[in-house]
A and B are shown apart, each in its own frame.
Chain A
Amino acid sequence: MTQGAVLIRSDRCKGCGLCIQACPQQVLAFAETFNARGYRPVQLDERERFCTGCGVCAIVCPDVVFTVYRQPLRRAERR
């Protein structure tokens, strides 16, 4: 399993929840607090390590909140 991660711009999130539903690994959840615009932004929850960097969250997000990262494959696997 590739290891992935996402960078979330919490200030831009409007708490629509589309990414939470769409995430195949169910690693996203609403934060416990509000952002400056009064929305509960999304964040990686305790299942964070299961993120594969698939980017589905970024695809469904209407507010371009996500930057998606992936662990580069070790040189052997790259050939």
Chain B
Amino acid sequence: MTTLSLEAPLREVSAPPQMEIVYAPPAALADVPMHYCPGCSHGAIHRLIAEVVDELAIRERTLCVAPVGCAVFAYKYFNFDSCEAAHGRAPAMATGLKRVLPDRIIFTYQGDGDLASIGANEILHASLRGEPISVIFVNNAVYGMTGGQMAPTTLVGMKTTSSPLGRDPLTQGRPIHITEMLATIPGVAYAVRRSMHSAAEIRKTKKAIRLAFQAQLQGLGLSIVEVLAACPTNWRLTPIEALDFIRDRMLPEYPIGDFKVDERLREKG
């Protein structure tokens, strides 16, 4: 192990001369450090949303409803208006916002405990109403903020602080497939699952987030993108191992796919 010297200055790379910027942090993302753990996917998902908001040029009329969970500080990380819902209630709060601000773009950002456990009734009825809001549903199989408890999306046999012997389907049920469930509801225009476990998958996730916002812009009904995300800290894995965990353990239970795509949904030019 090389000994790390604390004195050596960090190699600052100044902007290379006469080169074109091909990628820079999106304007809709606040220029502040984020509190997420190293390797957590939340930060990257926030960035994708901000990129989509920039590309659709809707920053000035987009509102985020932040959840209770690891993303409880999401409202600090976006350069647009936001508010914070009680745990699980974001779809209801978003409904209230959308009903009085019908021409604004409202999206909720929710974790799996928030959306599929305490908030299952809210997301169900927002979908039944076809509420024209977008839902970014981050599935990392545990309750992150509170230290890694079992969530409705915890895999069978998966150890968490509240399923220490591994989730037992006989007493703790099986992982919920809420996005597939919601896809059966007429009011839902777009319901897909994506993942963050590789650059290629992240690109697809961004495209799905863009289509979700597009569905809202076209007023087609509720759009939801479930995003499989890494939680290195609570999975007790390194960030790299966490991506493997998604690929090897989560994908078999939670296959990536499109469960509902309204045929009227078109990719804006």
A residues with a Cβ closer than 8 A to B are 3-8, 10-12, 14-18, 21-22, 31-35, 37, 39-41, 43-44, 53, 55-56, 58-64, 66-72
Contact of A40 among B4, B22, B202 (CB under 8 A): B4
Range of interface residues on B (Cβ < 8 Å)? 35 or more
Closest Cβ of chain B: how far from A46's Cβ, in Å?
11
- For residue B13, CB closer than 8 A to chain A, the reply is yes
Q: Please, how many angstroms separate the alpha-carbon atoms of A55 and B199 in the complex?
A: 10
Overall SS of chain B's interface = loop
- For residue B47, CB closer than 8 A to chain A, the reply is yes
Q: Please, how many angstroms separate the alpha-carbon atoms of A66 and B42 in the complex?
A: 17
Q: Are B240 and A31 in contact (CB under 8 A)?
A: no
Known: A60-B199, A70-B19. A5 touches B239 (CB 8 A): no
Measured CB to CB, the nearest residue on chain B to A69 is: B19
Closest Cβ of chain B: how far from A3's Cβ, in Å?
8
Q: Please, how many angstroms separate the alpha-carbon atoms of A68 and B7 in the complex?
A: 28
* Binary per-residue interface labels of chain B (234-268) against chain A in the complex, 1 for a CB within 8 Å, 0 otherwise: 00001110010000000000000000000000000
CB-CB under 8 A from B15, the residues of chain A are 7, 67, 69
- Quick check: which of B32-40, B108-116, B160-168 contacts chain A, the rest being far away? B32-40
CB-CB under 8 A from B202, the residues of chain A are 59-60
Q: Are B10 and A18 in contact (CB under 8 A)?
A: no
Known: A18-B243, A59-B203, A60-B44. A32 touches B8 (CB 8 A): yes
Q: Please, how many angstroms separate the alpha-carbon atoms of A31 and B199 in the complex?
A: 23
Q: Are A70 and B239 in contact (CB under 8 A)?
A: no
CB-CB under 8 A from B14, the residues of chain A are 7
Q: Please, how many angstroms separate the alpha-carbon atoms of A46 and B24 in the complex?
A: 23
B residues with a Cβ closer than 8 A to A are 2, 4-16, 18-25, 29, 33-34, 36-44, 47, 198-199, 202-203, 232, 238-240, 243
Q: Are A62 and B8 in contact (CB under 8 A)?
A: no
A-B contact pairs, 22 of them (CB 8 A): A4-B22, A5-B13, A7-B15, A7-B16, A10-B10, A16-B38, A16-B232, A17-B238, A17-B239, A18-B240, A21-B240, A34-B6, A59-B202, A60-B199, A61-B43, A62-B40, A62-B41, A62-B43, A67-B15, A67-B24, A69-B21, A71-B18
Q: Please, how many angstroms separate the alpha-carbon atoms of A3 and B41 in the complex?
A: 29
CB-CB under 8 A from B29, the residues of chain A are 64
Q: Are A70 and B22 in contact (CB under 8 A)?
A: yes
Q: Please, how many angstroms separate the alpha-carbon atoms of A18 and B44 in the complex?
A: 11
